[in-house]
Structure 1
């Protein structure tokens, strides 16, 4: 674990290192391939701790290193806030300490609390926040590569907070990448094909997420993830839009998930179209229109 020791020294020099005794662990928030996320207290502040498993540190240390070194440098209101890093010698482990998102992730909001059904205008505000977060990453030459509802957290006021940067990578000088990564039902066709791809792959995934929010159902609900991905590649399969009422919204989603990456719009266009759709969509109510005008 020499790499972990080197990281610890680097984080110490940056002033990012936290002492384990200052963290009071609470209940488990979730379990994933990378480890366990806990609710915790840090000097009276509620935080979330992503504790990496020993297995992931050995098997995929590169992804852990990227997430731990990348998040401290990201400063955006729609990206989860960084608090610090904690290391333990016995057993060897590392933990990423972040701001706490009290309303959980977008999956919970869609299918458990159903807050998006109760407050329809939130769909637009979350979609716009997510677009702004991804736009910021791309301006910093970073591809997220795993945009999905489980990686979109919600603040106390239900603001979008993008998280989980383990799959993220810096864009090469030619703007292209290779290698399949992400979640099949949200994966762009060029990624499924194992061909070269660009930051436009995030745009495709974004479209699937936004469509899911307005449909309030899982994409390709009765299809296995791998089969859905094959359908996208071989048959140009896309999720249904039958419950999406705004024609303007349908069009911008369809542009974002276009099979040809170069046809997908830039983020300025996406954000402008979403704001315009929000102001005219009768199903979103008048609240969001007031929020948009207040922010301008």
Structure 2
């Protein structure tokens, strides 16, 4: 709880849920306090707001992630249920419980996240010696992978289709998990240019994935071409 609070209290951005403080009065244990979001998470919001501007929501989430990465913070668990929508319809990233600050002691996050959104490298187990297994840590690049799947879900209202069920480390195995247009009934909502940008986010090799600071303007350009 203290770790989440120590990260959250430093963050000030329109697309991040604000941190109000810690309360010791509302429950038998300390709880983190933030504004109530009437619409709940973005998935629920889109079910009741058919005319919502989905591209604008995606760009809002991208802006929030870009702010985190610019401050050397990895979220580590980007998914639909961790994006809340405020009364203005603005998406706000929440849940910094497994986030980490890069280059800071005490902020090393092991293999964590939500299975369907996790980057492939987070499934690899590195045998550092004969007696110990080393689990990979979330990175800015793994955030970009998760963001790509999250963005696709916002645009199509369809959760990731191909879900890993066991550790894997080969491109052949990963190829079976990479999103394909034919898997999505609502793929028609995603232009070829938009799909091309998101597809870069799903690259097998972390080093090949673009930075979120490049993804956001590329998506903005792709969305503009639809207008």
TM-score of Structure 1 vs Structure 2, range by shorter chain:
0.7 to 0.9
Alignment partner, residue 119 of structure 1? 51
Instruction: Encode CA deviations 1:202-259: one digit per residue, 9 max, x unaligned.
Output: 0000000111122221111xx6x55287599723212233414311100110011111
3-state secondary structure, aligned to 2:20: strand
Give the alignment's Cα RMSD to 1 decimal.
2.5
Task: Name the larger-Rg structure.
Answer: 1
Q: Are residues 232 and 65 of structure 1, via their aligned partners in 2, closer, same or farther at CA, if it must alter by over 3 Å?
A: farther
Q: Counterparts of 1:228 and 1:155 in 2: how far apart (Å)?
A: 37
Structure 1: gaps of 5 or more residues = 1-63, 283-296
Residue 189 of structure 1 contacts residue 232 of structure 1 at CA under 8 Å; is this kept in 2?
A: no
| Residue 210 of structure 1, aligned match among 151, 171, 182 | 151
Q: Are residues 104 and 92 of structure 1, via their aligned partners in 2, closer, same or farther at CA, if it must alter by over 3 Å?
A: closer
Structure (1 or 2) with the greater strand fraction? 1
Structure 2: gaps of 5 or more residues = 125-134
TM-score normalised by structure 2 residue count: 0.82
Q: Are residues 196 and 103 of structure 1, via their aligned partners in 2, closer, same or farther at CA, if it must alter by over 3 Å?
A: closer
Answer with 161-170 or 239-248: which moved more.
239-248
Q: Are residues 232 and 99 of structure 1, via their aligned partners in 2, closer, same or farther at CA, if it must alter by over 3 Å?
A: farther
Give the Å deviation of 1:196: 5.0
> Is residue 108 from structure 1 mapped to residue 53 from structure 2 by the alignment?
no
3-state secondary structure, aligned to 1:209: helix
> Is residue 157 from structure 1 mapped to residue 88 from structure 2 by the alignment?
yes
Alignment partner, residue 255 of structure 1? 200
- Structure 1 stretches of at least 4 aligned residues deviating more than 3 Å after TM superposition: 194-197, 228-233
Q: Counterparts of 1:229 and 1:240 in 2: how far apart (Å)?
A: 21
- How many residues were matched structurally? 208
